[in-house]
Amino acid sequence: MTDHCAPTFDQLAHSLGFSCEEAGGLVEFRNPFGLENWTLTVLETTVILGSILALIWAVIRLRRHGDPTNLALWFGATAYLFIIEPPLYFPAAFGIEEHVDTMFAHNVFTVDFLWGRLPLYIVAIYPFMATVAYEIVRSLGVFRRHGALLGATCVGFVHHAFYEIFDHLGPQLRWWEWSTGNSLNQPFFDSVPLPSVVVFAALWPMSLAFCVYWFVGRKVDAGTRFTGPQLVGRTVGIGLLASLGTFILPLPATVFGAGSTTVRGTLYAAELIVLSLVAIPILFRSWQSQRQSTEIPHYTNAFVRVYSPLYLLVMAILWITALPDLRDATNGLTANGDPIGNPWYTLACFVIAILCVAAIFTTASPGHRSAQPEISDGSQRSTERAATTTEAAP
């Protein structure tokens, strides 16, 4: 691999406690009990298991209900990962080193790919968190009531809450380290680049969710069945177009804030505020409507109902163990020199995530907790027409 040990990455690697030159090749395995600290093993176990269960759920949905939406979501998120991440790891290999320097370095975990750049849990976290956010919004009936754009906006908001709980803890526990001198990371929100808070926590899942619902979800709701090649083609397209959306959605900040960190930060924050102001009332009204709806059974996702509370519990425990060092930090650094996140922002994200999980528990009708496909007006009319045709047939 060309320039697999760039100076910035090498510096970040040494700061995290490993050597870039000694990082393995395409795949490397390590003792899970010999990592930087015990939290790395807990994190990767939680995320990888969640991603595997999300994939199993997606296969079950397809086989039992003929609904490939979850499968397109899972593989679309994974396709997005492999489009976005490699250029960030190896800018020289992609010929963009003059424009993009190393932005961050992950610590080494039990399973790593690409010369220590890509831990397995990072591969897993994309489809895992995308599934949690999308299915919470879907369970509240937002897509069915409000369509692709507003549904995707709500997915971005929910994903942001779940992701920032993790994002503000990572640098302190040495899960990764950001390059503070990289202009693309500016401005910072405590230990996290504001572009990460907005783009990777909210805008990319919004872009992904829009593509998934537009190209697969709404078609399934209308009764369309896809062949294998059709589904593969749409899933690849979802990954490509979601990547394009991630470039388009932050354009106000990246274009108008190009010459000023302050302006760029203000515009990033404004985008997140607008997204939140749109999503919150829609989620609340959808929750109310779902509770009052006589349509049963409501769509529910057993995986999300079980695993999203478990994820929040694990993250809460990790945060509690990190609080003593955070409390004693000076000038934003712990005694070990690790940057701390914003505990108050994280607390707000915890509250939002908990309310979202509680919402999907308080909308399902007793006795109707198995997953059923959402019924759009179009598919309902199609069913009624089919029934009428059947009754009229000799």
Closest of 106, 87, 298 to residue 184, by C-alpha: 87
- Residue carrying structure tokens 């790919």: 113
Q: Give the pLDDT confidence of 73-122 residue by residue, as tens digits.
A: 999 999 999 998 888 888 877 777 777 888 899 999 999 998 889 999 99
Instruction: Give residue-wise pLDDT tens across range 262-294.
Output: 999 999 999 999 999 999 999 999 999 988 876
Name the band, by pLDDT with cuts 50, 70 and 90, for residue 3.
Answer: low
- Token pair recorded at residue 239: 């990954």
Residue 8 lies in a domain: no
Indicate whether 9 belongs to any domain: no
Residue 388 lies in a domain: no
Pairing mode, strands 118-119 and 27-29: unpaired
DSSP assignment, residue 330? Answer: B
Task: Quote the number of domains for the chain.
Answer: 1
Distances, alpha carbon 276 to alpha carbons 25, 202, 269, in Å: 42, 10, 11
Structural domain harbouring 134: 21-382
pLDDT digits (tens, 9 = 90+) for 150-195: 999 999 999 999 999 999 999 999 999 999 988 889 999 999 999 9
Residue 376 lies in a domain: yes
Omega of the bond leading into 205 within 30 degrees of 0 (cis)? no
**Residue 333 bridge partners (DSSP):** 330, 339
- 266 inside domain: yes
End-to-end Cα spacing for the chain: 69
The answer to the question of residue 16 being in a domain is no
Q: Is residue 15 part of a domain?
A: no
Give the separation between CA 208 and CA 152, rounded to whole angstroms. Answer: 8
Q: What is the mean pLDDT of residues 307-312?
A: 98
Structural domain contains residue 102: yes
Share the mean pLDDT of the chain.
88
